A and B are shown apart, each in its own frame.
Chain A
Amino acid sequence: NAGVTQTPKFRVLKTGQSMTLLCAQDMNHEYMYWYRQDPGMGLRLIHYSVGEGTTAKGEVPDGYNVSRLKKQNFLLGLESAAPSQTSVYFCASRDSGGPQETQYFGPGTRLLVL
């Protein structure tokens, strides 16, 4: 099993450009999440999904959109990138059990917006 994979690993964008980050999991998990991690800020939840075809806003959703067309994939889109979106983005997935369930994280995508 590959677990949680993220594509691309690193990307440089110019302000105003768009891009999509892809997250894939092979553990048949119901729940998937997108976080951003900035120095001194910990992990902040952008959007999440509790099942195929569903999405919901997290703590910092502005400037991002998501889609969960297939259970194994969770896409994060930036329509018009801004320098404030320079960050490391992590995808995670977990099973649909109780609060003790483990979130499994991908290796991250490093995004630089110039």
Chain B
Amino acid sequence: TQLLEQSPQFLSIQEGENLTVYCNSSSVFSSLQWYRQEPGEGPVLLVTVVTGGEVKKLKRLTFQFGDARKDSSLHITAAQPGDTGLYLCAGATGAGSYQLTFGKGTKLSVIP
């Protein structure tokens, strides 16, 4: 079983602060996705990274895929209350890579 370890599990920060969430594994993934989930709703895709070393930016969010494609990070600059939610990383696994293995998630609270 391929496991994805996410850290930290919980994060509570003040508005305007920066933060980084980590997603680590001993396994290689063909791609890695980050999802954001709000209470009472399903996860929504933020980004997909495919190439080792790839960096993608989405406004104040920066996503990085490790060179060996075993780890990823999500960095948020100047966090806002609207960033509050559960952040999930997911690695593509299985033949054809159409299954996702999810990390346990990072629950972020941004305090105004």
Binding site for B on A (CB under 8 A): 4, 31, 33, 35, 40-45, 48, 50, 58-59, 90, 92, 94, 96, 98-108
Contacts and interface: CB of A to CB of B under 8 A. Distances in A.
A50 B44 CA distance: 21
Contact of A105 (B44, B48, B104): B44
Shortest 8 CB-CB contacts between residues of A and residues of B: A105-B42, A99-B97, A99-B92, A99-B31, A42-B104, A43-B102, A42-B102, A99-B30
A97 to B, nearest CB: 9
B111 interface: no
Count class of interface residues, chain B: 20 to 34
Given A105-B42, A105-B44, A31 B102 contact: no
B48 A100 contact: yes
Given A100-B50, A102-B48, A50 B40 contact: no
Interface of B: 1, 6, 9, 30-31, 33, 40-45, 48, 50, 88, 90, 92, 96-105
Given A107-B40, A107-B42, 13 more contacts: A31-B98, A33-B99, A43-B88, A45-B100, A50-B98, A94-B98, A99-B97, A100-B31, A100-B48, A102-B48, A105-B44, A108-B40, A108-B42
B98 A99 contact: yes
Contacts of B104: 40-42
Contacts of B50: 99-100
A98 B42 contact: no
Contacts of A44: 102
Contacts of B33: 102-103
B99 A98 contact: no
A1 B30 CA distance: 30
Nearest to A97: B98
A36 to B, nearest CB: 11
